[in-house]
Amino acid sequence: MSSRRINLIKGVFLEYLEKIMPSYFDLLLPLKQWKILSLRELKEEAKYTGSFSGFYKIISKLEKNMLLDSFINSWSNEKFLYLLPDGIKALGGNEKSLHINRDLRFHDSLVSKVARMIKEFSFVKDVYMDFQAREVFPLLERVPDCVASGFLKKEFVMAIEVELTQKSQDRVKEIFKTYSASKVVNNVLYITDKKSIFNSYRMFLDELGGEICKEKFLLMFGEDLRKMKSDLKLAPIYFKDKLTNLSEVFKGYL
């Protein structure tokens, strides 16, 4: 593409951006961290103090200008938002790392929700989405959906995987072995809303037995995950060969 053509495109891009109040772009900054947020979550994270209807009008304008795209979670009836390439450029973000695959955006919205919930745990200092984890933990043997770090008797790093569809037995066991041997990750939390996945992964863990460090793994069944109503502290988990929950596992810390 010629430089004249590129400059023309840039000129058109800047021209329509100039019609938007600069302060509006600040409202989108949380999407650089969390990738996907519901409309209410974005308002909360952006610390917008005006009315919800006023915020909605601003976001609608940014959508019309092709800075944002959205979809509705049919289970919770929430509107979720994420940056389009022009929005990423406007905020100075990395288009490749923040790119949203439309086929995975529902999954990514759940990961964002889970990450924000886990960040509220008292012993968690930071939570990193997948694209951030690559930079913060360059020696990660496998990049999970998100990573939590903090202090629980000692410093820890927990990989978090949100499983909406079941991988093959061989693939899951291979991933389990990778995490088990990891020098970076102390624990792995798998979260699924399907009992069949929960039971299968539990069986895979048991079958591997001494081949892996089972104490590293926590399997959670979040029945209402898609409705965004799961209480991660009380949802049943399989840990150290028994059913329990995070409130019991981290008793005195949550």
Q: What is the DSSP string of 202-248?
A: HHHHHHHGGGS-GGGEEEEE-TTTTTT---TTTSEEEETTEEEEHHH
**Token duo for residue 62:** 């940014």
Tens digits of per-residue pLDDT, 65-94? Answer: 999 999 999 988 999 999 999 999 889 877
Helices 169-181/195-208 angle, 10° precision: 60
Residue 153, number of CB atoms within 10 A of its CB? 7
Answer yes or no: is pLDDT of 118 > 90. Answer: yes
Any idea which fold 111-249 has?
Answer: Trna Endonuclease; Chain: A, domain 1 (3.40.1350)
CATH 1.10.10.10 fits 3-100, yes or no: yes
Q: Where are the domains of the chain?
A: 3-100, 111-249
**C-alpha radius of gyration, the chain, whole number:** 20
Tens digits of per-residue pLDDT, 23-72? Answer: 899 999 999 999 999 999 999 999 999 999 999 999 999 999 999 999 99
One-letter amino acid of 161:
E
Mean pLDDT, range 132-138, rounded to an integer: 94
Q: Collapsing DSSP states into helix, strand and coil, what is residue 138?
A: coil
**Token duo for residue 208:** 């591997």
CB of 125 closer than 8 Å to CB of 158? no
**Arithmetic mean of pLDDT over the chain:** 90
Confidence grade of residue 254 (pLDDT, cut at 50, 70, 90): low
From the list 188, 202, 195, the residue with the least C-alpha distance to 145 is 188
pLDDT for 20: 78
Tens digits of per-residue pLDDT, 193-250? Answer: 999 999 999 999 999 999 999 999 999 999 888 887 778 999 999 999 999 999 999 8
pTM to 2 decimal places: 0.88
Mean pLDDT, range 160-165, rounded to an integer: 97
**Class of residue 43 by CB neighbours under 10 A (exposed 0-12, middle 13-18, buried 19+):** buried
